Structure 1
Amino acid sequence: MTKVQLKGVRKEFGKFVAISEIDLDINSGELVALLGPSGCGKTTTLRMIAGLEVPSFGQILFDDQDVSEVPVQDRNVGMVFQRYALFPHMTVEKNVMFGLKVRGTPTEEIKHRLEEILDVVQLQQFRHRFPAQLSGGQMQRVAIARTLITNPSVLMMDEPLANLDTKLRGEMRRFIRDLQQRLNITTIFVTHDQVEAMELADRVAVIFNGKLAQYDAPDALYQRPNSIEIADFMGADNIYEAQISAGRAKTAFGELQLDQLSNPVRDGVGHVLLRAEAVDLLLEADAASENVIPGKVTGREFFGATVNYTVECNGETVTVNEQSRRMVDVGQDVWLSIQPHRIWVIQDTA
């Protein structure tokens, strides 16, 4: 287990600034996702940690030791890339053993570690197959096994699931998370997929335009983003300008009572964030509840387990997501009920 720290790390390519002074602490045994849109700098950050790129400024530390200029072969890191890069003429076991053979590891040790790692990644029954005889998920497990057999202190993965179909991606996410927890290895995972980051990671570092925008636990990032940009990137449907006064938010679709214990706010302007699943759809008004707003269903999308409703309130559109235990007709009058503690207000830093 290795603790990884980035202190004021900056990367320039000529006049182009790819990374602008990122500070990041990754605990030993933690799985951290670097999340952001294409071109934001997340892969460049990973490559600097691995030693494939040298920072222009700042420090990269492994267990408090500066490794900023230590070459990749001396960092004891393992990298799994988006492309499997397996040798097509080698069987599974020969692909997995390759790294140890190159290092001159004794034959008996190679055999022992091979059996151990094939068990870990559940590939014993495929050991004599060639890559062309494997599924995408099996090839990805071979690539992971080839990396893990060298006992890296830090495991790094650069969008390793991008080439898999939707169902297989879900299965591989669970496999990687279970494997990481079993081995308790410090892992850094690059992705542009928000669901992937939230399902896999202990913490998520969101990077925009070469800057660290927010570093938080997945639930905090999803429910309590620190900016409109992050809320939008994390898939928020309902974001509204609001005038905040005396613990209440006045929006175009209605006025809302806020919970200032969970989300302290100050008087002034801001934005209200309502997660679509945090809004309850009522068929009858509930005078006893706070934040009940009348509206009309103007759209419905069925997704199997859930249904998305578009509701118009005072000329403004609100998206509601609920389980598909019932179907509310388009055109029906409804009421929206929003509990104060499920409202998140984003205001500029004072």
Structure 2
Amino acid sequence: MPFVHFLKNYFSTNKKHGSRDRKQIAQLCYCWFRLGHACRDMVAEERLLLALYLCSDEPNPLLAALHEEYNEKASLPLNEKLSSLRLNIFPWTDMLSEGIDAEAFSASHLVQPDLFLRIRPGYKKSIIRKLEQLAIPFNIEFENTLRLPNGFKVEDHFELNKEVVVQDLNSQRIGEMIDLVATDILSKEDAVVWDCCAASGGKTMLAFDRMPGMTFTVTDIRSSILQNLFQRFKQAGIYSYDGFVADLSLSSAKQIGEKYNLLPLQDLIIADVPCTGSGTWSRNPEQLYYFNASSINEYSALQKKIISNAIPKLLPGGYFLYITCSVFRNENEENVQFLQDKFNLELISSRTLKGYDQKADTMFSALLKSRL
């Protein structure tokens, strides 16, 4: 269970906590998790105060009462706080994808990411006008990406999925990969796109807005996931799609099911595969705290099964977009090499989308093409 839901359940069954108590308990828990694998042997109270100090950017009443020295230094930049400490927050730096700054990435777990929205086509002026009227601080990143402070209640001010989509900065940048092939795909009559691990459908909606009018197929392993996705599509005004349950980790086409077998060859397959989620741990720090490195190889093997069942549905000359929110080489570059070696795909572009210096998630994407 994600910790945010655990905490909500805890507070609902423990009514004695007032709003200030709930806020402080949540802050302390998240600070504890953000220290990751550092100081595991430290006395719990000392570790908690150290975590609160590192995660605070201004003086804190609790620090003032329990650790005056920390409180006096709370406003210092994070790099200055860390300079005198030897903390092993993220101990798997030798397994990182190419180009990731291990020290900066490790430190980013102490900082809560910002909230990002993607403005859907036709709504930019009205969205900006409303934010200005609300006097909400915001920045425009790229053409249609909004950066907002965490805690902003999106659903209170905008129509979710119709006007804006809650989507991380680098998740939105996947659109740059789609743009590389959009003209070619749109030039084809009756071109089709398959999002084979659709989940909440964010990448499908992104592709739809980049390639309006395209016909999509969406699949995932549970019907409940797809039902939620279909509701999002309805809110977004997307109707040109088909969807069905398909577990691509199964060993044979017969096991995956009849609808999979009847699926026509695709011009573009989007594979945002299940992964460790290690690029999102600054947003979900409990996953960093409890992570076991043995799962990296487990996820890598699962990803190979999924893409091995997806590739047979790729049209000759079609495109395969591989995506993870992982920072581990085994889930990223290794699987891109697997795609090239086993399926003779041509690599067009691969990118590690670094979010650790942007208060955003870190992601990996690779665009490949099936040889004719």
* TM-score, structure 1 normalization: 0.26
Larger Rg: 1
User: Which protein has the bigger strand share?
Assistant: 1
User: Which protein has the bigger helix share?
Assistant: 2
